[in-house]
Amino acid sequence: MPSHDVLIIGAGLAGQRAALAAAQAGVTVAIMSKVHPVRSHSVAAAGGINAAVSVTDDWRSHAYDTVKGSDFLGDQDAIEVMCSEAPAEVMHLEHIGVTFHRNDDGLLDLRAFGGASVKRTAYVADITGQAILHVLYEQLMKHSDTVDRYEEWFTTSLILDDEGTCTGCVARNIRTGDMEVFTAKNVILASGGAGQIWKPSTNALICTADGITQAYRAGVPLMDMEMIQYHPTTLLENGFLITEGARGEGAHLLNSEGERFMEKYAPNKMELASRDVVSRAEQTEINEGRGVGEDGAGIYLDITVVPKKRTLEALREIVNIGKDFAGVDITKEPILIRPGQHYIMGGVKTDVDGATPVPGLYAAGEVACVSVHGGNRLGANSLLDTLIFGRRSGEHAAERAKSMTMPTNDRTQLLKDEAEIKEIIGRPKTGRRVSEIKDELGTVMNRYVAVFRDEAGLQHAHEVVRRLKEEAKSAYIDDQGTVFNQDVLGAIELGYMLDAAECCVVAALERKESRGAQFRTDFPERNDDEWQKHINTSINGDDVPTIHYSPVTITQWQPEERKY
């Protein structure tokens, strides 16, 4: 039975940063991932990472922009930690080998991003995530004597002891189908987001809410789950992301009248208002008949106004995406986009060291909600979140491990998970297919838990999710083998997605106001008196999740009307 001081589930940016920090603190580490680490979703991150590194910038300005971007739902103590530690983190990345763009003076070049009052986004063309992920992976190799890598292992459950302390996990070796108990003094969940709950999504197929639901099932509250980010520029046809870096470089949004309509909605920031504001503006134009493309369901993103040389240098990936996935040369003609599901602001509730209310269990990155994003995440703040809170979790978990003895685990949870997998594989083909249920879930969520919401739509979505949860219990798969049986893992992931989706819907129903990414057409105003608080959802057996509230931490910025 493998045992480690710190076990990290997830090898994207949050997981790898946590692993590096824990290894540097001198403890034994395991890092586990259901895909090869450099295929983690972080590899897709494009536009950059925010940090007040310029001599004319200040971390407090970054923090204020983040608080305002969050629509005053973000916890300001956590935002202060993230923004004040950002410059050192970005310089650290530079020093370990991330080849950030430099300007003609040899300084880090910074690009404009939405909701930021100055240019503060460091970048590597439009492959920033890939650049950072590969450097971290390389750095981890230096610690190969103390860091064990479990690549293509799928965590099925967390293990809690009788006192409710997390002592490890059960995982399946995807290549062989063997199951194993992993024991650890501390577990860090770094298993990413939940985009696959929506169809389409900009997120990778692996973003299936695994860690979010594993923590929820272990009794950890999920916070801010109603806050789902729709990114303003995803391809009309298939939901692929066109980075905000394009607007940062100067691209325009145009409606069917050829107007730069953002003038009406955010006259000061135009296309670079926060994402919730731009997505709502686009959807309003579309709903009011000023959309473009088939059925008027899109908006033009005009990148031709950016000098071609600059586009080819700084936006080279989206040049390829435009050609390959929309048949458009973005240096010559506008491309059709629309708002599309992109990010989950909510997740596993943690403190600023990544600790959850379950002793021994930490969470960092998109799986977590320390609440630095509140109602709306600013572009380029997620990579920062993964690295700052990944590092802090790694350091904290390592320190905690030093004063502990190794716990012991029996095989109870393993036997349960093995039996569940056997039951799924053995199901008769009388129910629905797993993929059919996933499709219906995605379509319903994208219709009713999207840019605009209302009571009736959310109630309907909730009824559908409850029905799908029932149907999932008998959903069948085709592959009955053990080697690389992705089918059976898909069935397990469907269960994770349905639990997390229910929390999103229930929280969105509960919040009877409009704030950040939650716009309720039946409650169109922000209502600080009643709703400036976090909504938490906790497991309640098979029943609808229990709702409870927690206060928003305010340090120096009192809520004010948000205008861009």
- Is 37 marked as binding a ligand? yes
- Is 43 marked as binding a ligand? yes
Q: Is residue 8 a contact residue for ligand FAD (CB under 6 A)? A: no
In Å, what is the CA distance from 443 to each residue of 242, 439, 502?
21, 6, 14
Q: Which is nearer to ligand FAD, 66 or 514 (CB)?
A: 66
Q: Which is nearer to ligand FAD, 189 or 464 (CB)?
A: 189
Residue of the chain from 12, 69, 221, 347 that contacts ligand FAD (CB under 6 A):
12
Q: Is residue 15 a contact residue for ligand FAD (CB under 6 A)? A: yes
Q: Taking CB under 6 A as the criterion, which residues in 341-360 touch ligand FAD?
A: 342-343
Contacts of 101 (CB under 8 A, 6+ apart): 108, 109, 122, 123, 124, 125, 314
Terminal-residue alpha carbon distance, the chain:
55
In whole angstroms, what is the distance from residue 417 CA to residue 493 CA? Answer: 13
- Is 164 marked as binding a ligand? no
In degrees, rounded to 5, the angle at the alpha carbon of residue 464 between the alpha carbons of residues 459 and 467 is: 125
- Is 14 marked as binding a ligand? yes
Token digits of residue 340: 């599309």
CB of 32 to ligand FAD, least distance (A): 5
Part of the chain binding ligand FAD (CB under 6 A), chosen from 19-27, 258-266, 311-319, 361-369 = 361-369
Catalytic one of 149, 275, 338, 453: 275
Q: Is residue 366 a contact residue for ligand FAD (CB under 6 A)? A: yes
533's enclosing H/E stretch is: strand 533-538
DSSP of 89-128: HHHHHHHHT----B-TTSSBPEE--TT-SS--EE-STT-H
Q: Is residue 202 a contact residue for ligand FAD (CB under 6 A)? A: yes
In whole angstroms, what is the distance from residue 125 CA to residue 187 CA? Answer: 34
Q: Taking CB under 6 A as the criterion, which residues in 284-343 touch ligand FAD?
A: 342-343
Part of the chain binding ligand FAD (CB under 6 A), chosen from 139-147, 207-215, 400-408, 463-471 = 207-215
Q: Is residue 517 a contact residue for ligand FAD (CB under 6 A)? A: no
CB of 531 to ligand FAD, least distance (A): 26
In whole angstroms, what is the distance from residue 322 CA to residue 197 CA? Answer: 25
CB of 50 to ligand FAD, least distance (A): 7
In whole angstroms, what is the distance from residue 25 CA to residue 533 CA? Answer: 36
Residue type, 246: A
141's enclosing H/E stretch is: helix 128-141
CB of 40 to ligand FAD, least distance (A): 3
The three-state DSSP-derived secondary structure of 223-290 is: ECCCCEEEEEEEECCCCCECCCHHHHCCCEEECCCCCCCHHHHCCCCHHHCCHHHHHHHHHHHHHCCC
- Is 94 marked as binding a ligand? no
In whole angstroms, what is the distance from residue 159 CA to residue 414 CA? Answer: 9
- Is 288 marked as binding a ligand? no
Q: How many other C-beta atoms are found inside a 10 Å radius of the C-beta of residue 143?
A: 15
- Give the phi and the psi of residue 139 in degrees, each rounded to 5: -65, -35
CB of 231 to ligand FAD, least distance (A): 8
Q: Which is nearer to ligand FAD, 28 or 213 (CB)?
A: 213
In whole angstroms, what is the distance from residue 74 CA to residue 551 CA? Answer: 10
Part of the chain binding ligand FAD (CB under 6 A), chosen from 29-37, 310-318, 399-407, 538-546 = 29-37
Token digits of residue 95: 């020093």
Residue type, 429: K
Classify 147 as helix, strand or coil: strand
Token pair 């993103």 is found at 301
Q: How many other C-beta atoms are found inside a 10 Å radius of the C-beta of residue 44?
A: 20
CA-based nearest residue to 501, from 446, 557, 435: 446
- Is 30 marked as binding a ligand? no
CB of 53 to ligand FAD, least distance (A): 15
Q: Taking CB under 6 A as the criterion, which residues in 398-457 touch ligand FAD?
A: none
Classify 524 as helix, strand or coil: coil
Residues 123-152: x where in contact with ligand FAD by CB under 6 A, - otherwise, as a string: -----xx-----------------------
Residues 31-70: x where in contact with ligand FAD by CB under 6 A, - otherwise, as a string: -xxxx-x--xxx-xxxxxx---------------------
Bridge partners of residue 160, in order along the sequence: 166
Q: Which is nearer to ligand FAD, 255 or 446 (CB)?
A: 446
Check if 275 is active-site: yes
- Is 548 marked as binding a ligand? no
Length of the chain, please? 564
Q: Which is nearer to ligand FAD, 18 or 458 (CB)?
A: 18
Residue of minimal Cβ distance to ligand FAD = 12
Q: Taking CB under 6 A as the criterion, which residues in 162-191 touch ligand FAD?
A: 190-191
What's the DSSP call for residue 66? H
Q: Is residue 10 a contact residue for ligand FAD (CB under 6 A)? A: yes
Q: Which is nearer to ligand FAD, 397 or 464 (CB)?
A: 397
In whole angstroms, what is the distance from residue 53 CA to residue 85 CA? Answer: 11
Residue of the chain from 72, 137, 154, 523 that contacts ligand FAD (CB under 6 A):
154
How many chain residues bind ligand FAD (CB under 6 A)? 45
CB of 521 to ligand FAD, least distance (A): 27
Residue of the chain from 87, 115, 192, 490 that contacts ligand FAD (CB under 6 A):
192
> What's the half-sphere exposure (Cβ side, CA atoms, 13 Å) at 289?
0
Part of the chain binding ligand FAD (CB under 6 A), chosen from 28-36, 52-60, 476-484, 523-531 = 28-36
- Residue positions annotated with a catalytic role: 275
- Write out the residues near ligand FAD by the rule CB under 6 A: 9-15, 32-35, 37, 40-42, 44-49, 128-129, 154-155, 190-192, 202-203, 206-207, 210-211, 241, 342-343, 365-367, 380-383, 386
Annotated binding site for FAD: 10-15, 33-48, 210, 366, 382-383
Binding residues: 10-15, 33-48, 210, 231, 243, 342, 366, 377, 382-383
